[in-house]
Structure formats: C-alpha cells, structure tokens
Amino acid sequence: MKLSKIVIATIAVCGATQVMAAGVTRLTGSSASSINVVRGLANACTTAGGTITVYKTNTSTSALGNQFSVKCSTAVAGGTPVNFDATSVDEARMNVAGGSESAVTNAALFPTSTNTNFLVPTGACTAVAAGTEALSFLAAGQMRSCGTTLADTILKSDGGYLDVEGPVFNATKYDGGDFQPTGFNQVFGIAVNSTLYNALQTYQKTVAGGNIVAAACAAGATTPECQPSISRAQITSLINNDLFNAGKTSGGAYLVPGSAVSKITYCQRPQTSGTQQSSQLYFLGYALNGNLGGNEVVVPNNTSLAKYSSILNNGSSDVKTCLNSATDFRFGGLSLENNPIGGTDTYRFVKLNEVAATEGVAGASQTTTAIAGRYDFVYELSAYCPGGTCADIIATINSAVTVGSSSPGIFLGNGVESKFGRNGNSAAPMASR
C-alpha cells in the first residue's frame, strides 16, 4: 500500500503547487531520509512511464553523498524527459549538506532564507556500478559520477523534509503550522565501527559482559542474537557536555572493561541535522522548543580530550565514512534506511538497551521491533509546507514511497503498520495511538 492511500490529510494539505523552474525542482533538508526520497522518486518516475538516473558527486555504490540529482526519462542517462507522476518536473536536484533545518533556511518561501548550490547532470558524468546496500535498487549505470562542481549556483530550494518538526530547531523562529507530518515514522539507531563492534561482541559473550551475545555467534555476526548492546545511559554519558564523567575519561574501557583502546570517538552531526536533534531529544531529554530544556547539554563540536573526541560530520554519508574507520572505538547516530550488510561499509548497528533495531541481514525492513513498540528511537518525518502549502513534488514523493522492506527504516503509524507513534509531536513519548 502507498502512503497516498493512507495519509490522505497530509496529501491534501500538500496539494497546492509552488512556483518552480520549468522541469526542475530543488530540495534541501534531511540527509537521513534521502535514500527513501530517491526510492519515492524512482517509483513516481516508473508510474509515469520513465526510469531514473541518479547523478552524484562520488563513485560510491552504497552512498548518495550530500549533493545529488535525479532525472526521469525514457532511457537511463538519456532519452526523452518524463515528468514525475502528478508533477510538471522531470528533474529533482538535492543538497542535504545542511541537514534537516536547511529544508527551511534554504527555501525560497522562508523570509530570511539563504542560497545554496546544486549538482547539474551532464553527459560528461560517468557510469557507476550497480548499487549496493541501501542503493541496491539501482542497476549498473543508473548512477553517474559527475565530480564535485555544483554548477547550479546561488539558488534557493522548494523546501524538503526534516527528521523532526521545525520548532525543535528553534521555536521562536519557526511556526509549527508551516510543517506537515508525512505520516511515516523513521527509525534511528546507534552504529559503531568494526573495532568497537567486535570488542563488544567478544566481551558480551561472557558472564561479566552479561551474556548478551549468544556464545555460538561467530565473530562479526550481525543477526539480533549476535548483536552486542550499548545502553541508553552510556550513550547519554558519551554525548552530553560533562567532560569529566567516566565516558569521557576512561577510554575504551568505559564500554569494554579491560580494553586497551585509548579513545572513544563520537561521529557527531551539526545542530542543523535532524538526526542530531533526534539523538538529543532521545538521549538528552530536550524539550520541544529548540533549546536545551535544562536537562542535558550536548558535547561541543570537535571536542578533543586525551581519551575522548567528537568529530563533526555534515551529512549521513560523512558519518558512515567516520564510522568505517577502524581507529579508536567510534559510534554515531544513523537512520535505519542505511544498511551496511552486503556492501563495503564496515560499520554495524548495535542493540540499544538490549533491543535490536535491525534484523542484521541485507535487504531487511529494519522496522520490526519499532513497529511492535519494543524499540522507540523513532521520530516522525516532517515536510516544510509554509502556510500549509507544499511543493507538489513533496506530495508525489509521499504518495510514491511504499512500505515494508522496499523502503527500509520507515513505517506507517496510525494503526496502518503500527499502533505506536508520537502523534506528530517529537516531544511526545512513543505510545499506542
């Protein structure tokens, strides 16, 4: 079933069309949802009788990067342009380097918006091999590498998606009425580098480690019974601004007692990132007012201590690069649309409070425990729709994203796929609705 059949109210409010350049729409915002946005565009293109080509700045088969463009036409990297279903555009250019908040701050309809740049597809872009991991729905040649020049310059976007509502970023700057819930929930998780994953797995097979990991699990195994766990309290200690707690002063031994690894590194996102805001809401107890709520303050960007550091990363692709390093014990937050199994990425998701977010296999939905209400690091994706009016491409993407394993890491609430959700309010607890 498609979201358009379910979230009728959302589609209705997003039905009006914003003025856009002929044939091209530009989106900014969430990097955590970018793969599922491309999946939605692919479906909308297929419905219209076309096929997509994804143009990007890198040659990775598993990552989009922060700037990419999607064209719909009768042939891969050529043919006659085809408008995405129910739109007047055949090309979507996206820049998600600024994170979720840039869906607003770079949008043409936001009064004090700023310009940004976008990637222009050209015939000089070279073919990339078939997609792997979360991009496995793209065949060889459907991705093209164009270099890093962003020739579509000094422009503003038509809005985009945010991992949480705009007032989470700044309650006085943003009007809650300008943001519309999309109707689907996005699952987040804690990912770690291979060095930490393997060390946790070995330790947690022991009595001292709580026997969390089954003794029969092979080294590096990723199914739920073999996934090691980190507690919510441990993550809170590692990302708050108390620079003298055990998480910041114990090195690797904080997570794996007896470890000789000297440092723990946090692969952090900026405050404009919805993934970062989701992490702060969940682990630090922020109030839904864009401020710290008096509970816990986040560790400063690029903190460097003897046994702890934080590294600032612009987008989700950058976090994955950070986590693929075997140096130190590394961790960071990622959406579960990302799945490293079956590709070249070496990072892995761990359990949170001994509950797995992922099935740990290639092609998994990565939503099972969240749908059941057993895992609650989950927030509802929002769209920037000033005055209740979204760009028509937003409604098209919403209606084209299918549920289940074809769109990993997201699921419908409101009793459709799950009874559990936050009812469009990131400050509300996850509960039956």
What is the tens place of the pLDDT at every residue in 359-414? 999 999 999 999 999 999 999 999 999 888 888 999 999 889 887 766 899 998 87
Model confidence pLDDT, tens digit, residues 197-246: 999 999 999 999 999 999 999 999 999 999 999 999 999 999 999 999 99
Please state the domain count of the chain.
2
**DSSP bridge partners of 179:** 384
For residues 105 and 213, state if they share a domain. no
Contact partners, residue 48, CB within 8 Å, separation at least 6 = 72, 82, 83, 84, 85
Average pLDDT, the chain: 91
For residues 250 and 349, state if they share a domain. yes
pLDDT on residue 295 = 56
Structure tokens at 220: 């590096």
- CA 19, CA 195: separation in Å to the nearest integer? 50
Does a structural domain hold residue 420?
no
Structure tokens at 186: 């996005």
- CA 247, CA 285: separation in Å to the nearest integer? 18
For residues 150 and 193, state if they share a domain. no
- CA 25, CA 91: separation in Å to the nearest integer? 6
Does a structural domain hold residue 425?
no
pLDDT on residue 18 = 35
Does a structural domain hold residue 299?
yes
**DSSP bridge partners of 258:** none
**Sign of the CA dihedral 141, 67, 174, 377?**
positive
For residues 132 and 212, state if they share a domain. no
For residues 194 and 330, state if they share a domain. yes
Backbone angles phi, psi at 188, to 5 degrees: -115, 160
Does a structural domain hold residue 382?
no
For residues 237 and 335, state if they share a domain. yes
For residues 343 and 220, state if they share a domain. yes
The model's confidence at residue 65, banded by pLDDT at 50, 70 and 90, is very high
Model confidence pLDDT, tens digit, residues 80-89: 999 999 999 9
For residues 138 and 196, state if they share a domain. no
The model's confidence at residue 9, banded by pLDDT at 50, 70 and 90, is very low
* In the chain, % of residues over pLDDT 90: 82
Distances (CA, A) of 38 to 91, 158, 407, 409, 423: 11, 16, 10, 14, 25
- Domain containing 312 — which CATH number? 3.40.190.10
pTM of the model: 0.88
In terms of residue numbers, what domain contains 346? 185-371
For residues 71 and 206, state if they share a domain. no
Strands 116-118 and 78-81: unpaired
- CA 70, CA 142: separation in Å to the nearest integer? 10
Burial of 145 (0-12, 13-18, 19+ CB in 10 A): middle
Query: Can you state the percent helix, strand and coil of the chain, rounding each to 5?
Result: 25, 25, 50
- CA 353, CA 345: separation in Å to the nearest integer? 24
For residues 365 and 395, state if they share a domain. no
The model's confidence at residue 287, banded by pLDDT at 50, 70 and 90, is low
For residues 328 and 207, state if they share a domain. yes
C-alpha count within 13 angstroms, C-beta hemisphere, residue 75: 4
The enclosing H or E element of 319 equals: helix 316-323
Backbone angles phi, psi at 257, to 5 degrees: -50, 135
For residues 190 and 125, state if they share a domain. no
Model confidence pLDDT, tens digit, residues 290-335: 444 445 789 999 999 999 999 999 999 999 999 999 999 999 999 9
Residue 247 has pLDDT above 60, yes or no: yes
Does a structural domain hold residue 301?
yes
